[in-house]
């Protein structure tokens, strides 16, 4: 039995004009949120957003639903396009050096308090992370993607993503403590 997503994919492959509108309506907000979390500046994010859909439409014939859902596939394109944009435009960005944090031996207490001030500090700490780490946090916590989906998007494996999430959480907690 064909789903609405299967029908959308088939319509996109047949280049039906209405399919493009459905693609934007269903997946546009999700893609834009992901791009915006990685690419600073609304105009730049809009440019990358357009590039994501151009690339998706060019590659729709090679999309394999057995490897990932359409949503995850679009996320992968958005992730890669966003990181490529940041690398091209901001080659001199300096991110916090992990080695100075001493996070390898640092454990996050389970009863860590979370109030409005800490949330503001968390947002600031997130901005200090490299785009790749920001994207992983965004996909896991904001979009509630599984480790398998994030691994597909980043070209990694789920256990590596789990380890990275653990390391990033510890890093964020340590950054907040130093702010």
Angle between helices 158-178 and 116-127 (to 10 degrees): 120
Predicted structure pTM score: 0.72
Are residues 30 and 143 in contact, defined by beta-carbon separation less than 8 angstroms? Answer: yes
Q: What is the pLDDT of residue 118?
A: 66
Which of the 8 DSSP states describes residue 64? -
Cα separations in angstroms, 53 against 21, 58, 71, 92: 11, 8, 12, 28
Q: What is the pLDDT of residue 127?
A: 85
Which ranges in 14-155 belong to alpha helices (H)?
Answer: 17-38, 42-59, 70-89, 116-127, 131-137, 147-154
Are residues 153 and 76 in contact, defined by beta-carbon separation less than 8 angstroms? Answer: yes
Q: pLDDT 10s per residue in the chain (179 long)? A: 568 888 999 999 999 989 999 999 999 999 999 999 888 889 999 999 999 999 999 999 999 989 999 999 999 999 999 999 988 875 444 444 444 444 443 444 455 555 677 678 778 888 888 888 988 998 898 888 999 999 999 999 999 999 999 999 998 888 888 87
Instruction: Report all structural domains of the chain as residue ranges with CATH numbers, in order of start.
Output: 4-89 (1.10.1740.10), 98-178 (1.10.10.10)
Count of all residues that appear for the chain in the document: 179
Q: What is the pLDDT of residue 105?
A: 38
């Amino acid at each position: 039995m064909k789903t609405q997503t299967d029908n959308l994919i088939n319509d996109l492959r047949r280049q039906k004009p209405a399919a493009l509108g459905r693609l934007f309506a269903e997946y546009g907000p999700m893609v834009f949120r992901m791009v915006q979390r990685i690419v600073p500046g609304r105009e730049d994010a809009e440019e990358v957003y357009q590039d994501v859909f151009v690339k998706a439409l060019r590659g729709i014939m090679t999309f394999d639903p057995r490897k990932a859902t359409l949503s995850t596939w679009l996320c992968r394109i958005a992730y890669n396009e966003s990181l490529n944009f940041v690398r091209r435009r901001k080659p001199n960005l300096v991110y916090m050096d992990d080695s100075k944090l001493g996070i390898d031996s640092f454990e996050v207490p389970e009863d860590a308090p979370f109030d409005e001030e800490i949330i503001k500090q968390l947002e600031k700490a997130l901005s200090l992370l490299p785009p790749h780490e920001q994207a992983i946090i965004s996909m896991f916590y904001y979009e509630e993607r599984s480790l398998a989906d994030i691994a597909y998007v980043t070209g990694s494996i789920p256990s590596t993503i789990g380890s990275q999430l653990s390391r990033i959480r510890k890093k964020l907690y340590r950054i907040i403590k130093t702010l």
